[in-house]
Structure 1
Amino acid sequence: MKVIFAGTPEFAAVALAALRDSGFDIPLVLTQPDRPAGRGMQLQASPVKQYALAHGIPVAQPVSLRLDGKHPQVAEEAHALLRATPHDVMVVAAYGLILPRSVLGIPPLGCINIHASLLPRWRGAAPIHRAIEAGDAETGVTIMQMEEGLDTGPMLLAESLPILPADTTASLHDRLATLGGRLIVEALRKLEQGGLRAEPQPEAGVTYAAKIGKEEAALDFSLDAATLGRRIRAFNPFPGAYGVCNGTPVKFWRADVVPGDGGEPGRVVAANGQDGVVVATGSGLLHVRELQKPGGKRLPAAEFLKGFRLEGERFA
């Protein structure tokens, strides 16, 4: 089976590697254009492009696939390339571009998506973040036949994973990426054998995982500690939850929720090498174990306090 692959971040690169390692013929990879990254803002290839080039797979990077969009000539060239590339199916994983109907109809067996949630819960751009933020007990991966709606297509395969108490978006992402790679291989094997059955998504239980905005990272300490703890885990590694102390944003990378009343929300109840950093909230306390100041490294609380005074302070 010949598989065109469309994806951009590490989550997608894991699936691409799984397909190649399982013997599927991948004649073409689509991925987002190179973006500036790092302190020097140098152009950087996506993880999918890096993997494809390292393994001799042709790569295309159109800025758009919409014939009626801002770049119709680019889109037409991409369409022509897809039609000229012999393939059976397109696999899509966190690509980042909308696939219009004109593209969805090109692969003989359609387009199949790897989505990091148990649909119909958490359709949209940030399903891993939102599942942790909401306090879900489990999530998973759904293999879905794509249609024009946002993650509305029929389900082909799904498998769940528990969300562990200490899971961050980073740790859960890695487990889901591995699961996604395994499930897409299983799905395509069944497709080859004619044993893949589509099941419509239920109408009940639909939620949407909106893209994470940087403004969400600012912690509101009037909220309860459990909510804040989930947000800290959900926004690790991006965009990084933070509180502002004397005008300086301090990122919170790891924190435990402990019972107690520390008084005014945001007040630093403890800040020493033995107890770490304990902050009062609207209900309960946050025991912050890893912090970072602007331009600095992520540090355990005891190390952080050697260069940043928090005793007696308050986070706005």
Structure 2
Amino acid sequence: MKILLISTAFSGLTQRFYTELTDAGYAVSVELHLGNDAQLLEGVQLFQPNLILCPFLTRRLSATIYQHYPCLIVHPGIKGDRGPSSLDWAIQQGEAEWGVTLMEAAEEMDSGAIWASKTFPLRAAGKSSVFNREVTQTAVECLWEALTYFDAAGFQAEPLDYSKPGIKGQLRAQMKQGDRKIDWKTAKTTDILRRIRAADGSPGVLDDIFGQPFYLFNAHPETVLRGKAGDIIAATDQAICRATVDGAVWIGHLKPKLADHNDIKLPAVQALKDCWPKPKPGLQAWRDKPIKTIAIDYHAPGRQLPCQEVWYELKGEAAYLYFAFHNGAMSTGQCRLLLSVYQHVATLPVKAIVLMGGEDIWSNGIHLNQIEAAQDPAEESWQNINAMNDLIAQIINTLDKVTVAAVCGNAGAGGAILAIAPDKVLAREGVVFNPHYKNMGELYGSEYWTYLLPKRVGQAPATDITEQRLPISARKAWHMGLVDKVLDKQHSIFNAQVKHLVDSYIGNPLELAKLLNDKANTRRIDEIIKPLAAYRKFELTQMYANFFTDTAYHTARQCFVHKKPRTETPANLAKHRLNVAIKPASAGGMAHFVWKDSYALGDEKIDREHRDFFELAEKLLSATHKTTLLETLSDLQRHVQEHFAAEERLMHGTGFHLLKSHCQEHALMREQLEAMTGRIADDHWQAADLQTFIGHWAHHIQHADMAFNSHWKEMNVYCL
């Protein structure tokens, strides 16, 4: 089955759909909707998809497309909700529950028949955070529900009917700045927070500070400080605190409204540096209450302020280091701050240092906005990458403690490499990794990736990852060896599991001593073979050329920071536009359904039988005569009787918790096999039936069998 993703941008949700579908064996390609309908239609016709999914659209889809292809739109709203500002209204109005609806494309926006709809409790957080977490996960659940209906005979989507009691949504207008406006003289803290959070990410809330227009982002409640409503009453090194009628709010980031639109979102204090009021003379200075400067003691445990981006906690004999940088970007100053706190934590009597990153975005590497705003972007790029390198070198050379990366949010570029610097890498299910740099104007990348990435996955896969520039799911990262464990998708459960695993790493003195001894020996041998300094020098030589002699990186960075629209879909995403004929494939097509080492359990008999099935599947797909088909199906029937029985015995013996449902799938596949044999014998079959049949088997291998694969490795590899 061929699925085309049409999206305004290759955003986090689109990447999640991409990884979910490619991991499941579907033939997936991407076409960005850039406002050129003819170009978009050309892409659709080139790929000829069985299904079009639109995870993130800000433009209408042409009727020419949805009238000829099944098209499902992801809408971040409950049933019946319509309009482009759905999530904005829900957050600003304080809805307790919200949802995601997957519907057919239609002439009237968001009015198509409904395929799936699910709800979630609406957390008090910014729009970007809610979208990255609840909306994305709920959309994925809707996706898989809808795919179960796609081939189901008799399925009918639910028409949008406002007379039904379950339809609670409504048509909402696009939210404008007038709807978002804050009256600081009357608005309470809760209302102000909702307004800023509803506009977080984009477009921000337009406001006036020191007589200049700014867009507000990244707001947090203050619990102690008070002042005259509307006044800025305090500031840290990054954020400002503004009084309300019943409290105060911290504002972390601002973006000036400029006539030329070359505005850049920056930390609030930095954005205000040119308009900060100068001290007034005489009596006026006495009457005006000065803005309080608050210095954060980053070496003290705990989060002292809600706007604080770096802090650590001590739990037992482990230190948990958080760095919740806005949008995951790490400036030169932020890297140096994090290094300073890490070095302090490393002096404490703890046995483990756990890098927690940020919950929404773990890290995205160097800070492109800060670089773009710098007087000399090339020099700032150089300082920033060296500061990242200093941090990672410190982690690599921490030999007396276990280091752990607990990756709860997505990680990209240098942030993804930072995540694999520690000894152990734990990832939340649903996290997406993008460990590559070339999309940013052919940037070579540093952060010791030429040492860390091949060490984890091997040289050839490391080359593929960085050249193909495609997102990687947490589960695929685990199969590749990029991460050590994939934990629960729920953030609270993930955090509990991380603590449990960290305690297990350091709880046995003998095992801890062995782990640290092995780490020290490996580091010593690696240093003899090739010093870390050599990796750094080589990488920085390439980066120096990127920063100081080439223009591609600077052009790409400017386009990224100022959100300049693309003119075409990148070639690595639009596979259908490559100058290579694309062979039609189904979810189980052999173009994607091939044996991989990651499928191996380690049980020789089971692995051999799985390989045999792959060979039989290939023989089935290539067969053209009825006799050959029936002979191959007969071989397959004999094969599955023995294989299913052996596999079920193995599952029972290891206490596999999904044994019952797995056996039910086996029974269903036996029935499908018999039915397929009957249809071929009676000449009541088509080639497409065979592809669908193999597709069902592929889904079982790549989901149910891989779930047992994970269980087997937990029982027989990681627990040893």
TM-score exceeds 0.5: yes
| 1:183 aligned residue (142, 156, 163) | 142
Shift of 1:106: 0.8
Whole-Å Cα distance in 2 between the matches of residues 157 and 232 of structure 1? 30
| 2:220 aligned residue (250, 255, 266) | 255
> Which residue is 2:565 aligned to?
none
Aligned partners of 2:100 and 2:118 also within 8 Å: yes
For residues 255 and 191 of structure 1, do their structure 2 counterparts lie closer, same or farther at Cα, with a shift above 3 Å needed?
same
Q: Per the alignment, in what secondary structure is the counterpart of residue 266 of structure 2?
A: coil
Shift of 1:229: 1.3
1:1-316 paired onto structure 2 within 5 Å: 1-9=1-9, 10=11, 11-26=13-28, 28-33=29-34, 63-64=36-37, 74=38, 78-79=40-41, 82-83=44-45, 85-107=47-69, 110-121=70-81, 123-165=82-124, 167-175=125-133, 176-194=135-153, 196-203=155-162, 205-213=168-176, 218-221=181-184, 222-249=186-213, 251-256=216-221, 265-268=229-232, 270-271=233-234, 277-281=241-245, 284-288=246-250, 290-292=252-254, 294=256, 297-298=266-267, 308=276, 312=289
- Give CA-to-partner distance per residue, 1:103-140, whole Å, 9 cap, x none: 22111xx211111111212x121222221111111212
Letter matched to residue 65 of structure 2: V
Letter matched to residue 212 of structure 2: T
For residues 196 and 147 of structure 1, do their structure 2 counterparts lie closer, same or farther at Cα, with a shift above 3 Å needed?
same
Letter matched to residue 153 of structure 1: G
For residues 82 and 287 of structure 1, do their structure 2 counterparts lie closer, same or farther at Cα, with a shift above 3 Å needed?
closer
Letter matched to residue 132 of structure 2: D
Whole-Å Cα distance in 2 between the matches of residues 138 and 129 of structure 1? 13
For residues 195 and 131 of structure 1, do their structure 2 counterparts lie closer, same or farther at Cα, with a shift above 3 Å needed?
farther
Whole-Å Cα distance in 2 between the matches of residues 178 and 92 of structure 1? 15
Higher RCO (C-alpha 8 Å, min separation 6): 1
> Which residue is 1:38 aligned to?
none
Q: Per the alignment, in what secondary structure is the counterpart of residue 208 of structure 1?
A: coil
More helix, by proportion: 2
> Which residue is 2:341 aligned to?
none
Shift of 1:309: 5.8
Aligned partners of 2:77 and 2:100 also within 8 Å: yes
Whole-Å Cα distance in 1 between the matches of residues 126 and 254 of structure 2? 17
Whole-Å Cα distance in 2 between the matches of residues 293 and 126 of structure 1? 21
For residues 20 and 266 of structure 1, do their structure 2 counterparts lie closer, same or farther at Cα, with a shift above 3 Å needed?
same
For residues 87 and 272 of structure 1, do their structure 2 counterparts lie closer, same or farther at Cα, with a shift above 3 Å needed?
closer
Shift of 1:214: 5.4
Whole-Å Cα distance in 2 between the matches of residues 102 and 280 of structure 1? 51
More strand, by proportion: 1
Aligned partners of 1:243 and 1:252 also within 8 Å: no
* Segments of 4+ moved more than 6 angstroms: 257-261
For residues 146 and 261 of structure 1, do their structure 2 counterparts lie closer, same or farther at Cα, with a shift above 3 Å needed?
same
In the alignment, structure 2 segments of 5+ residues that lack a partner are: 257-263, 279-287, 292-720
- Give CA-to-partner distance per residue, 1:219-253, whole Å, 9 cap, x none: 32233332211011111122223542321345352
Aligned partners of 1:118 and 1:159 also within 8 Å: yes
Computing the radius of gyration from Cα coordinates, the structure with the larger value is 2
Aligned partners of 1:225 and 1:257 also within 8 Å: no
Aligned partners of 1:226 and 1:257 also within 8 Å: no
For residues 143 and 309 of structure 1, do their structure 2 counterparts lie closer, same or farther at Cα, with a shift above 3 Å needed?
same
TM-score of the superposed pair, with normalisation by structure 1: 0.68
Whole-Å Cα distance in 2 between the matches of residues 259 and 196 of structure 1? 57
For residues 227 and 193 of structure 1, do their structure 2 counterparts lie closer, same or farther at Cα, with a shift above 3 Å needed?
same
Aligned length: 263
Whole-Å Cα distance in 2 between the matches of residues 117 and 254 of structure 1? 23
> Which residue is 2:324 aligned to?
none
Shift of 1:172: 0.5
Whole-Å Cα distance in 2 between the matches of residues 129 and 93 of structure 1? 17
Shift of 1:86: 3.1
Aligned partners of 1:155 and 1:198 also within 8 Å: yes
250-259 vs 179-188, which moves further: 250-259
In the alignment, structure 1 segments of 5+ residues that lack a partner are: 34-61, 65-73
- Give CA-to-partner distance per residue, 1:128-169, whole Å, 9 cap, x none: 22211111112121111222211011211111121112x111
- RMSD over aligned CA atoms reads 3.7
Whole-Å Cα distance in 2 between the matches of residues 88 and 293 of structure 1? 43
For residues 88 and 249 of structure 1, do their structure 2 counterparts lie closer, same or farther at Cα, with a shift above 3 Å needed?
same
- Give CA-to-partner distance per residue, 1:241-277, whole Å, 9 cap, x none: 35423213453521327699966x4245x4366xx72
Q: Per the alignment, in what secondary structure is the counterpart of residue 244 of structure 1?
A: strand
Whole-Å Cα distance in 2 between the matches of residues 254 and 119 of structure 1? 29
Aligned partners of 2:74 and 2:103 also within 8 Å: yes
TM-score of the superposed pair, with normalisation by structure 2: 0.32
Shift of 1:30: 2.3
Aligned partners of 2:3 and 2:27 also within 8 Å: yes
- Give CA-to-partner distance per residue, 1:35-75, whole Å, 9 cap, x none: xxxxxxxxxxxxxxxxxxxxxxxxxxx612xxxxxxxxx3x
